[in-house]
Structure 1
Amino acid sequence: MAVIVITGGTAGVGKATALHFAKAGFDVGIIARDEESLHSTEDELRRFGVNACAVHADVADSKAIVDAANEIATRLGAIDVWVNNAMAAVLAPFRTMTPEEFRRVTEVTYLGYVNGTRAALELMVPRDRGVIIQVGSALAYRSIPLQSAYCGAKAAIRGFSDAVRTELMHENSRVEISMVQMPGLNTPQFEWARNKFAWAMRPVPPVFEPEVAASAIFKVAQKPVRELWVGSSTIQSIVGQFFFPGFLDRLVVKKAWEGQMTDSLNAEDRQDYLDRPVNDVHKIHGTFSAEAKNRAARVTSGLPGNVLLGSLAVGALVIARRLITRKK
């Protein structure tokens, strides 16, 4: 039976993905910080008749993640798929963030992926097989205001993954690294992220359910690609950034700043997960189910280039035909 490991596997996209793979018959290992949610999610996974292994660890601790990977491999068997998903965010203008807050977001959201990738490679490379999936975001290409640390981390993950992928190619390794770039998702992220505004915040619309992300991750696990872009908003943001970065800068000044604000004030007892886990049983969905979409367009990162090459080829044929006609 195949084995998958998911960091941040007790809430949001991580938990949705864990359940999706369990339904498909995978044994599932999950890594997270909250003990209660780890045990709860582990029980849910076992109801599908699969084996599950929950390990308490902070992805920012490289040794802890290596130890967690080894524990899961010992209990479940060789790891076939590793999904780096754990993240943290601070919702605030950059100048209001402390160095410690920025560092913590980077340690979890970027270095957590580095640590997870290292742990996975230590187990996969000797066997010469396995798939590492980096859960990314359209923000890896097109940054927005009020999430500077998170955007920086997502962009860093893309650069890091591209470098490691080429190293594996140089070694003729069959271990593959894929990145799945996500749109705004209806997860608890905006309820738990540190928020320095008085107002509650939200993902920039359109919003998709976490199951959309889980389905995309499952697709890539079955048939790895370099990158998969999920959602029309993701596709438009990435392609638009290639061609009109200055225009998008001006567009997001208003759309992404005000678009992340709600009309509700934060609760006085609001907790955030930056330094410690939130003390409740984690959930998959956020508070935007009424507007969240259940389906999304998906394209691989090679499609725009293929379309361009195809257009150039068609154009060349048209020109060649005209030249031949003129000679006649």
Structure 2
Amino acid sequence: MRRRHPQVINPGLFAGSNDHAVYWCRQQNPLASAAALARGDEDFEWSLRHPLKPGDLIVTALESSPPLIVSLEVIEEDENEEITYRNLAIFSDPISVIDAQHLIGAQLPRRSQYLKQPLAEKLLESMGALIADPRPIFITAGPCDALQSAQANEVLSVLAVLQKGSPWEQLECRICDREILDEPEAHLPHVDQHGLRWEIQEHVDEAVLMCSDCHDMAHQPTLQQLRNYARPACPKCGERNPRQIIWGMPAFIPDPDDFVVAGCVLPMGPMAQWECRACSSRYLVADAGELAYPELMVHHE
């Protein structure tokens, strides 16, 4: 299998783990869970149905199609006696739950729960075997759609997020370079990929991570989206969909979704032209030689 980022897993990671209780965490939202792992999001809610104890191992599997094992963590107790966790490995290279079941010779639970010790030992052994000798995973690709991604394409998005994300860096849109604050979306550039039989790792490198706005634009931009894209981006957060500011008494009733009435008291110096929808920053577009007041963010031309 061709691997863009060969993963270095400590050979002793699974050795000596048989003395630990293993909690099998089954996540129903694959993309959101993968993004939380990639970002190191400590506020994300995981499907943990039982209280966990220090020393317990957590194996997380995502309900993608096919389902994947994506992380191994250990529960610890800090000096303040607070329960926390430490990530031992994120398996950004695919480990199929189905392949693990074949090696074990038994079905793994469809919901989160503690595993009985014999099954837990076999699961860890199978994960070690699949890391040492990975098996190809094939999917039948569906059409790339910004409104509803095909299940087979979702697993490509999950792996793209795990491979390209990092807890030390923002997860950014490849088109507008803004941080993706919600669930990232993967755009597949092939227009004729529907129905093709793909080996999953061969095509995950081609998935382009985007924010939802840019993914919409990549498929079928509306006139309003084109207008928004042509407006200047916010200097503070990068959002490219501002409302236009109207100073004074407007001669028409402005649509509050597109305009902001700033009032009749005009500011000293240049007047802001745009207000960001995301962070409410006000800014203008000015010539390079024009004076910029410190309280006003300015785009220079």
Q: Into which bin does the TM-score normalised by the smaller protein fall?
A: under 0.3
Answer 1 or 2: higher relative contact order, Cα 8 Å, separation at least 6: 1
| Structure number, greater radius of gyration | 2
Q: Report which of the two has the higher share of helix.
A: 1
TM-score by length of 1: 0.24
User: Which structure carries more strand by proportion?
Assistant: 2
